[in-house]
Amino acid sequence: MRVVDAQRGPDQQVIAAALESVGARVDLGEAAVDADRVADSDLVVTSPGWRPDHPLLRAAADRGVSVWGEVELAWREQSSPRARWLGVTGTNGKTTTTEMLAAMIAVAGVRGGAAGNIGRPLVEAACVDEPAAELLAVELSSFQLHWSESVRPAAGALLNLADDHLDWHGSFAAYAEAKAKVWGDGSTIAVHNADDARVVRLLGDRPGVGFTLGPPSPGRLGVRHGALVDEAFGAGRLVGVDELRVSGEHNVANALAAAALALAAQLPAAAVRDALRRFTAGAHRNAVVAEVGGVRYVDDSKATNPHAAAASLRAYPRVVWIAGGLNKGLGFDDLVRETRAHLVAAVLIGRCAAEIHDALRRHAPDVPVRTVADLHTAVQAARGVAQPGDVVLLAPAAASMDMFRNYAERGDVFAAAAQALQEGPQ
């Protein structure tokens, strides 16, 4: 086995030593990823960070060498008896939905949990764990799905579709095609967002189970008289919307998707209900990190694209919005146009601050805007305009790598700055 990595930093060297100790040949540095490396290979297993147009991967395709991702490897090599997989993908909401689903699996007492893009490698959860998992809640990114040839979940959910990662996939059509792989083949129960026109078009005439924020017709899950209701699997009323401990219509949709997957896997309705009542969002996903002077400070650093930021902004009536970062080639006009009524003011940071400012100027010219150098200053500026009852919301609509290691570090800095306000003069 040969392992190559274009990086050769200290972390890579430690990993290389461990791999070499079990017989792997490891090459580090830019020269290591030369296309000629696949000349004598029968299989290439790629990290999802590598784009399909990388010369090494293109050389593999030209030579007829199979290219798998880690998800495909785990699917083919998983322990016996094979765990059932419940796949979750979408532009936004994947992690929250997967965590909700994992909570349902745990409450039902079924052996398994969450894996995949959520952080825990599938090769570990599906191939190494003893005793073997029975049911896995599998978060799947478009990158992972692109490199998955034969993965066939028992049920798979596509939560929503909006422009994202077009630089990696090359087009929206290619991005959507990758997402559709969560539905596997005819043996997979296709859970889908019936309110998302792009998802519905992608589904076409294949059968499936839809979820909607409106009243559900037969064969769907939805909301009726203020409660989540199942009309597909016979569970009936699940929980009241006001019983959920996560805010926003997007989280109601996430809860419906998770419930559909759990019920498709024949988990008890009681486990679905109990898990939804108990569930709280993870860090950096609409998490209240401080309350100062009647103003709540909410960290949604995970909102790394305009679609996610729009859902977050719509969850609150009056928002002082902190946004900006590293744009992924996406526009902000629709985001501002759709959420204008929620905006009290905007404080912008990062490389794409000017792009967001331009969108605000076009579609919300009466919203005060200030651009600042760093996140700590942004929190201070937001405090200066927020009134009791308002929310200061970090929903960047952009990636974090222009100023931070990742979205988690960005959220932690925001939380620390907000909590420091409690210690200062009031």
CB burial of 160-181 (b: ≥16 within 10 Å; e: otherwise) equals bbbbbbeebbeeeebbbebbbb
Task: Please state, in angstroms and as integers, the Cα–Cα distance from residue 360 to each residue in 35, 367, 378, 400, following that order.
Answer: 45, 7, 17, 21
Residue 364 CB partners (closer than 8 Å, separation 6+): 336, 340, 343
Q: What is the pLDDT of residues 42-76, one digit of tens each?
A: 999 998 878 888 899 999 989 999 999 999 999 99
Q: Which has more confidence, 206 or 119?
A: 206
Confidence of residue 424 (pLDDT cuts 50, 70, 90): low
Contact (Cβ atoms closer than 8 angstroms) between residue 395 and residue 283 = no
**What phi and psi values does residue 157 have, to the nearest 5 degrees?**
-115, 130
Contact (Cβ atoms closer than 8 angstroms) between residue 120 and residue 114 = yes
Residue 225 CB partners (closer than 8 Å, separation 6+): none
Lowest-pLDDT choice from 126-130, 164-168, 236-240, 381-385 = 164-168
Query: Crossing angle for the helix pair 269-278 and 94-107, nearest 10 degrees?
Result: 120
What percent of the chain stands above pLDDT 70? 99
Q: Which of 99, 139, 58 is nearest to 286 (CA)?
A: 99
| CATH annotation of 287-420 | 3.90.190.20
Q: What is the pLDDT of residues 299-352, one digit of tens each?
A: 999 999 999 999 999 989 999 999 999 998 889 999 999 999 999 999 999 999
Confidence of residue 11 (pLDDT cuts 50, 70, 90): confident
Residue 163 has pLDDT above 90, yes or no: no
Mean residue pLDDT of the chain comes to: 93
CATH topology classification for 74-278: UDP-N-acetylmuramoyl-L-alanine:D-glutamate ligase (3.40.1190)
Give bridge partners of residue 298 from the DSSP assignment.
288, 393
Residue 114 has pLDDT above 70, yes or no: yes
| Cis geometry, peptide bond prior to residue 365 (ω within 30 degrees of 0) | no
Average pLDDT of span 346-368? 98
- Please report where in the chains the tokens 């000017």 appear, as a residue: 354
Portions of the chain given CATH number 3.40.1190.10: 74-278
- CB burial of residue 257 (10 Å; 0-12, 13-18, 19+): buried
d(CA 348, CA 356): 8
| CATH annotation of 2-71 | 3.40.50
DSSP-based three-state secondary structure for 201: helix
Question: Catalytic site residue 328?
Answer: no
Strand (E) or helix (H) holding 25: strand 25-28
Question: Catalytic site residue 165?
Answer: yes
Longest pairwise C-alpha distance within the chain: 68
Average pLDDT of span 103-126? 93
Task: Please count the other Cβ atoms lying within 10 Å of the Cβ belonging to residue 389.
Answer: 10
Residue 251 CB partners (closer than 8 Å, separation 6+): 93, 96, 244, 281, 286, 315
For strand 295-299 and strand 391-394, is the pairing parallel, antiparallel, or unpaired? parallel
Active-site position among 92, 117, 254, 327:
117
Residue 33 has pLDDT above 80, yes or no: yes
Average pLDDT of span 28-40? 82
Task: Please state, in angstroms and as integers, the Cα–Cα distance from residue 55 to each residue in 36, 65, 161, 231, 232, following that order.
Answer: 9, 13, 29, 49, 47
With left for phi above 0 and alpha for psi between -120 and 50, is residue 198 left, alpha or beta? alpha
Confidence of residue 426 (pLDDT cuts 50, 70, 90): very low
Active-site position among 92, 94, 160, 328:
94
DSSP per position, 208-261: -EEE-SSPPPTTEEEEETTEEEESSSS-EEEEEGGG-SS-SHHHHHHHHHHHHH
With left for phi above 0 and alpha for psi between -120 and 50, is residue 204 left, alpha or beta? left
Task: Please state, in angstroms and as integers, the Cα–Cα distance from residue 58 to each residue in 54, 72, 337, following that order.
Answer: 6, 18, 41
Question: Catalytic site residue 117?
Answer: yes
Average pLDDT of span 96-100? 96
Active-site position among 146, 165, 169, 302:
165
Average pLDDT of span 222-237? 98
Q: Quote the distance between the C-alpha of residue 20 and its chain's center.
A: 34
Task: Please count the other Cβ atoms lying within 10 Å of the Cβ belonging to residue 362.
Answer: 12
Portions of the chain given CATH number 3.40.50: 2-71
Portions of the chain given CATH number 3.90.190.20: 287-420
Average pLDDT of span 230-253? 95
Confidence of residue 111 (pLDDT cuts 50, 70, 90): very high
